[in-house]
C-alpha cells in the first residue's frame, strides 16, 4: 500500500504541475481526498444490491494483495507458490468479477454500462496477457516466480523479451482500470462504475485501483527486471526501487495515452497484441530449445 500511496502522490504532483500549481502541493492531494471521502456520507440507492456493490470495491484490494503475495521481496515471499504465474493470471480474472459487481450491484444504468465496458476490454487483453506471462515461465522452466527471478541472474528477461514486457505493462494498466483502459469509468458515462459511489465505498475502489497498479508493477519487476538483483543495496530495496520506477512510468504513460473504445481495443488486442505475444513466445521457445 505504501507503493500505491507513492504512486497516487506522484500522480497528484503531475496534476498540480499541469494546472500551473507547485508540484509539491499536489503530493498531499490524495491524502486530502482520502480524508474527504472518509467523512463523506455513503450514497444509498433504491434497489441496489449493497453486499454485491460494496463487495466489488473491497475485491479490488483483495485481488491486489493476492497478486503481490507470490512476488519475492528480496529473499522473502508471502506465498511461494509453485504455480505463481498461473496465480497472477487467475487473480487478474478476479478483477473482472469485481468490476461486474460494482456495475450490477449499484442498480444504475451508468454503472452497469461501465461494468460491461470493462468486461468487453478484458476479453481483448486477456489472451495477450496470458502469453506475455508464459514467456518468462518458459525461459525459466518454472511457474514459480522466485525461480523466474533466479533465472535472470545473468541477463534480465526484458533484454530479450521486450515485446512481452511491453504487453504485460499495458495489461497492468488494463486490469488496474487506468489510463486508456478506463472507459468503464469515463466522463461520457458520468463516471460509469464510479458514478454512484461516495464516501468509503468510493475510497475503497480508488485505493484498489492504485493497489492493483502497484501489484502489477511488482510482478513486472520480478518477471522481467531481475527482481531484487542490483549492486550495493539489499535485494528487497532493489525490488522496491524498481517497482516504484515501473509504477512511475505507468502513471506517466496512463496520463498521456487517450482512452480506447472497447471495440477499438479488441482490434488492437487481437490483431496486434496477440500475434506479437505469440511471436515473442516462439522466439523464447526456440532459444530454450537451442540451449537444451
Q: Is residue 31 part of a domain?
A: no
Which cell goes with 231?
Answer: 549492486
Task: Answer whether residue 165 is part of any domain.
Answer: yes
Task: Give dist(CA 193, CA 57) in Å, integer.
Answer: 10
Q: Is residue 45 part of a domain?
A: yes
How many domains are there within the chain?
1
DSSP state of 156: -
Report pTM.
Answer: 0.88
Confidence check: pLDDT of 254 > 80 = yes
Is residue 149 within 8 A of residue 218, CB to CB? The reply is no
Distance of CA 40 to the CA centre of its chain: 27
Give, in degrees to the nearest 5, the angle at Cα 209 between 204 and 212: 120
**Bigger pLDDT: 46 vs 155:** 155
Give ∠ CA 75-129-253 in degrees, rounded to 5.
Answer: 85
Looking at the domain assignment, is residue 24 inside a domain? no
Q: Across residues 220-225, what is the average pLDDT?
A: 92
Domain span including residue 271: 40-290
CA distance 160 to 224: 10
CA distance 130 to 168: 9
User: Above pLDDT 70, what percent of the chain?
Assistant: 100
In a domain, 9, yes or no: no
Please give the average per-residue pLDDT across 140-147, as a whole number: 90
Residue 173 lies inside a defined structural domain of this protein: yes
In a domain, 4, yes or no: no
In this predicted model, what pLDDT tens digit does every residue of 224-246 receive, in sequence order?
Answer: 998 888 888 888 899 899 999 99
Q: Is residue 231 part of a domain?
A: yes
Amino acid at each position: 500500500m505504501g507503493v500505491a500511496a507513492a504512486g497516487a502522490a506522484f500522480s497528484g504532483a503531475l496534476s498540480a504541475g499541469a494546472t500551473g500549481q507547485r508540484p509539491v502541493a499536489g503530493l498531499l492531494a490524495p491524502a486530502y481526498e482520502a480524508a474527504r471521502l472518509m467523512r463523506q456520507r455513503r450514497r444509498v440507492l433504491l434497489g441496489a444490491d449493497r453486499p454485491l456493490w460494496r463487495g466489488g470495491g473491497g475485491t479490488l484490494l483483495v485481488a491486489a494483495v493476492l497478486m503481490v503475495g507470490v512476488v519475492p521481496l528480496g529473499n522473502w515471499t508471502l506465498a511461494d507458490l509453485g504455480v505463481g504465474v498461473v496465480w497472477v493470471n487467475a487473480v487478474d480474472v478476479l478483477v473482472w468479477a469485481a468490476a461486474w459487481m460494482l456495475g450490477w450491484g449499484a442498480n444504475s444504468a451508468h454503472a452497469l454500462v461501465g461494468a460491461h465496458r470493462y468486461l468487453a476490454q478484458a476479453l481483448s487483453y486477456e489472451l495477450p496477457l496470458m502469453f506475455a506471462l508464459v514467456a518468462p515461465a518458459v525461459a525459466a522452466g518454472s511457474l514459480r516466480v522466485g525461480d523466474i527471478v533466479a533465472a535472470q541472474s545473468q541477463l534480465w528477461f526484458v533484454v530479450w523479451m521486450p515485446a512481452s514486457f511491453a504487453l504485460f505493462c499495458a495489461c497492468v494498466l488494463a486490469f488496474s482500470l487506468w489510463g486508456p483502459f478506463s472507459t468503464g469509468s469515463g466522463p461520457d458515462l458520468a463516471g460509469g462504475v464510479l458514478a454512484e459511489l461516495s464516501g468509503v465505498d468510493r475510497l475503497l475502489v480508488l485505493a484498489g485501483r492504485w493497489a492493483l497498479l502497484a501489484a502489477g508493477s511488482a510482478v513486472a519487476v520480478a518477471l522481467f527486471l531481475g527482481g531484487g538483483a542490483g549492486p550495493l543495496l539489499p535485494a528487497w530495496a532493489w525490488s522496491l526501487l524498481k517497482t516504484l520506477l515501473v509504477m512511475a512510468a505507468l502513471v506517466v504513460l496512463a496520463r498521456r495515452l487517450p482512452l480506447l473504445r472497447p471495440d477499438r481495443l479488441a482490434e488492437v488486442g487481437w490483431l496486434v497484441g496477440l500475434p506479437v505475444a505469440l511471436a515473442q513466445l516462439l522466439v523464447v521457445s526456440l532459444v530454450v530449445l537451442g540451449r537444451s
